[in-house]
Amino acid sequence: MRLKDKVCLITGGAAGIGKATAETFALEGARVILCDVNEKAGRAVAQRLSSEADFYLVDVTDRRGVQSWVDDVISKFGKVDVLVNNAGILRDGLLVKMKNGELIKQMVEEDFDLVVSVNLKGVFNCTQAVAPFMIRQGGGVILNATSIVAIDGNLGQSNYIATKAGVIGMTKVWSRELGRYSIRVNAVAPGFTATEILNSMPEKVLEAMKDRTPLGRLGQPREIANAYLFLASDEASFITGDVLRVDGGMVLGT
């Protein structure tokens, strides 16, 4: 019960790593409050967890919506102990694709902007909404989802990598700005993880992912959730400004 009586907010909690984190936190005694744009799936997760879980329909790109969510949580529970900025999307594509000296395809500007809006601005929106309350209450924990591709790079993910590298940068600066208030800020960088997003990938691509991972398999959402659990708990009380890789030893190459 490492999170007993803690009020924990989790964005993107309807599926994948967010869902696993919500389940793990609930088992550890937390009051789990998850949000997502997928209302049906999100409510189903909250209902399965326990009476100590709540769901809110929130788009993290909507600044007013995020503030309203946080304000409502504070009005009901009086505090926010942990924020997990997990919500994120993919819109992969090469920067440019050339053939015989001619440009035939490139990353769509709208896809770049959308990924930045969700993965980077969304983290900013949620953290800025929560931080003043954590300061007033005398402390808290902020955990941000980044990725190993932010560290090693990966083909076809200019937009995604830009956001995840930005999250690492914000994690570093927020740990400095908020440390004086006993607020710890860390990030988790998963490797290839067996979430719903991989269901549509060809088997040969999945096998290639496994081959590039020294442990020889994909990560499981619960394994990433356990990293969040450790960083959220008092066991990590002297850890801040760090990026924890949970990737099976993977180092991406060209």
What is the residue-level pLDDT of the chain in tens, covering all 254 positions? 999 999 999 999 999 999 999 999 999 999 999 999 999 999 999 999 977 899 999 999 999 999 999 999 999 999 999 999 999 999 999 999 999 999 999 999 999 999 999 999 999 999 999 999 999 999 999 999 999 999 988 889 999 999 999 999 999 999 999 999 999 999 999 988 888 777 667 788 788 888 888 898 988 999 999 999 999 999 999 999 999 999 998 877 64
Q: What's the CA gap between 178 and 152, in Å, rounded? A: 28
Give me the pLDDT at residue 136, please: 97
Q: What's the CA gap between 3 and 236, in Å, rounded? A: 12
Whether residue 253 is contained in a domain is answered as no
Number of domains in the chain: 1
Whether residue 251 is contained in a domain is answered as no
The string over 194-229, giving b where at least 16 C-beta atoms fall within 10 Å of a residue's C-beta and e elsewhere, is: bbeeeeeeeeeeeeebeebbeeeebbebebbbebbb
| Residue 228 among the catalytic residues | no
| Residue-range definition of the domain harbouring residue 89 | 7-244
- pTM of the predicted structure, to 2 decimals: 0.94
Whether residue 90 is contained in a domain is answered as yes
CATH number at residue 160: 3.40.50.720
What are the residues whose beta carbons fall under 8 Å from the beta carbon of 187, sequence distance 6 or more? Answer: 143, 144, 145, 146, 167, 168, 171, 242, 243, 244
Whether residue 252 is contained in a domain is answered as no
How many residues are listed for the chain in this entry? 254
Catalytic residue among 56, 160, 181, 228: 160
Whether residue 20 is contained in a domain is answered as yes
Instruction: Scan for tokens 């788009």, then name that residue.
Output: 59
Whether residue 134 is contained in a domain is answered as yes
Whether residue 54 is contained in a domain is answered as yes
